Structure 1
């Protein structure tokens, strides 16, 4: 957050020296392409993030509704019962449940609240700490490809890209399926060869403290995605319908005061869950607006070394997707924000249609799914007390392969 803020100041100052930014631009200067530092960077940067922020809030709220109504707990319990005494099967089922939940739920708070239910189960069944952590986080990341909060957050960086097209929806389902398949394969391989652990067995009983909800209520996580993708319903409207369905199916609608208290609490907790995410994104927007106005100045230097083949570019991003770790140059949630700004400045073949999937894959499959600098990943690694070395040995090879495959798929779907 602070890094992006100071980089925004630096780029704004460099732009002033180059004559493309000024503290307070006149109407004529704005028309000529000059950026107003006072209003255009530090004011409009966060302001223009407003629509995205609202969608993220509603997604985070929905995650809290799933948890506080007992729906998430019931789905998890059903998966455990279905898996029986086969740890790997149970882990696969819980991973699938997690992936489906996070196609609509959003926010670190939801990841934590569901994780504290799932992790004791997996560890008590003998799943190793590193595998339990990796499987859970990769499943969360898979759901992000269809998550309206995550997509809106990413889309604000490349607003020219239309995420409502059938092509993108198809790619989202392919990405979700491939990452989930890689997660299942990882579980089977590591379970057959890795070490097992026994921990927290007494906490498994906590899953029985509340009764199961109506089976129909377990469909709630799928409603926002289904309505948005197949019926064209807007994300917030879809979430409101899903919340109403959840209240109806779980009986939380019977008393007005109880309903009001539940909605107040979940909305409050949902906003709190994403508060620091907003701070990070607001300062990121300041940096991006300053960087984009200055990036064309570097175009004459960069154009000769930019790849001329889009296929080579997608393959390169796939092979080097490890650089999305630790906020590196291939994730837009880190140094990759500057990389994106440079590609946008050069233009030409680097259209929004190309740049959106190109950067989405490493930013989601690597950074959003397994990077320790991602808030929910950091929490999970600390909660399970897993070794970072074992964690990366477990998940990194599978994530890198998924990223490479998805970049190839993205090339043929968006760049050909």
Structure 2
């Protein structure tokens, strides 16, 4: 059997092993380091047996530098910066109450109809996660959305499926995820850097809508026609609502990039400031405001 085929099979098996590693909830950064080391060893062994033009003229140290120095630097240059600012903005939406207010308004609009309410919740969740990122916002939204669905009689597996599916749909249009994939693909094809979010936006929205439709169809077909109803979902207080003028901040980063073509990091910052101002959270002395931004960014980093 060709040595390239053998190494390819080993790489696929090791990738499946990494999937198992992730599912077990083990430390991802350590797992990535182990995988990088293992795949580097495979590349060196394979090149020694069947030389590859991609490694021509590269010494052992050059290979190590490419994997352990250039790789992390390139990753941090684009992905980590965008991810952290996206998580910062997600934390702003959670802490200002904008995300929870949108969800409460959707519940009021859906009334006592579980299927309609579930559909509206999924649509709002998908829109929210076009900009939000980080596990913290996911958990924060989940503890609001899932109890509402359960209180309306939506079975727990369907509630979880529809919620996670709506997040997945929103991620199709998520600009932070786009930047991650763009950086990864640019490692294989530098021309990928020329493919901007504006070029992708239309396709991303189409994918988002298709995914959301599929999720809602599967969820509705799976629901029992005799769902029990409880009305605990109407217990929210109006005093906790964020003002309507602040709601647009959810999609401001995307609008800033698509319409005004501003840098996404600046878009996250401006949208976050707008959300804080319109909800009355940006107040106090200069030092208080600095501490607020530091806390939001730190909480967002922890979410990542």
TM-score for the superposition, normalised by structure 1: 0.58
Cα pair distance change 1:185/1:128, threshold 3 Å = same
Which residue number in structure 2 is paired with residue 49 of structure 1?
75
Choose the corresponding residue for 1:189, options 213, 218, 221.
Answer: 221
Flag the 1:225–1:33 CA change in 2: closer, same or farther, 3 A.
same
Q: Note the C-alpha offset of 1:120.
A: 0.9
Runs of 4+ with >6 A deviation: none
Quick one: structure 1 residues 242 and 38, their matched pair in 2 at CA, closer, same or farther if it must change by over 3 Å?
same
- Alignment check: 8 A CA contact 1:128 1:194 kept: no
Q: Could you say which residue in structure 2 is the equivalent of 1:259?
A: 289
Q: Measure, in 2, the Cα distance between the counterparts of 1:10 and 1:231.
A: 44
**Do the aligned residues in 2 keep the contact of 1:103 with 1:146 (CA within 8 Å)?**
yes
1:88 Cα offset (Å): 1.0
Please give the per-residue CA displacement for 1:134-169, whole angstroms capped at 9, x wherever unaligned.
111111111111112111222221013244165422
Aligned to 1:222: 251
Q: Report what 2:157 is aligned to.
A: 130
Question: Does the CA contact (< 8 Å) of 2:108 and 2:234 recur in 1?
Answer: no
The offset of 1:17, in angstroms, is 3.6
> In structure 2, what is the equivalent of residue 64 of structure 1?
91
Tell me what 1:211 maps to. 240
Structure 1 263/204 Cα, relative in aligned 2: closer, same or farther at 3 Å? Answer: farther
Q: Distance in 2 between matches of 1:225 and 1:165?
A: 9
Matched, 1:116 2:147: no
Cα separation, 2, equivalents of 1:239 and 1:166: 16
Preserved contact between residue 59 and residue 149 of structure 1 (Cα < 8 Å): yes
SS at match of 2:87: helix
**Counterparts of 1:165 and 1:243, CA distance in 2:** 20
Q: Which residue of 2 aligns with 1:173?
A: 205
CA contact (8 A) 2:101 2:241 kept: yes
Q: Deviations over 1:179-218 (max 9, x none)?
A: 1222232343233x4663668x76863x328521210101
Q: May I ask how many residue pairs the two structures share in their alignment?
A: 264
1:366-404 CA-to-partner distances (Å, cap 9, x unmatched) read xxxxxxxxxxxxxxxxxxxxxxxxxxxxxxxxxxxxxxx
Q: Give the match for residue 14 of structure 1.
A: 42
Aligned counterparts, 1:349-368, within 5 A: none
Contact 1:126 1:197 in 2 (8 A): yes
Taking the aligned partners of 1:166 and 1:112, their CA distance within structure 2 comes to 29
CA RMSD of aligned residues (A): 2.6
- 1:91–1:187: 8 Å Cα contact kept in structure 2? no
The aligned counterpart of 1:32 is 57
Counterpart secondary structure, 1:135: helix
Summarize deviations over 1:276-333 as a string: whole Å, max 9, x none: xxxxxxxxxxxxxxxxxxxxxxxxxxxxxxxxxxxxxxxxxxxxxxxxxxxxxxxxxx
Report the CA distance between 1:87 and its aligned residue: 1.1
In structure 2, C-alpha distance between the alignment counterparts of 1:58 and 1:210, rounded to whole Å = 29
Note closer, same or farther for the CA distance 1:53–1:101 as it changes in structure 2 (3 Å cut): same
Point out where structure 2 has 5 or more consecutive residues left out of the alignment.
1-27, 49-53
8 A contact 1:217–1:245 mirrored in 2: yes
Structure 2 length normalisation: TM-score?
0.78
Distance 1:83-1:204 versus aligned 2 partners, 3 A rule: closer
Q: Offset at 1:228?
A: 1.0
Q: Distance in 1 between matches of 2:155 and 2:89?
A: 31
- Secondary structure at the counterpart of residue 158 of structure 1: helix
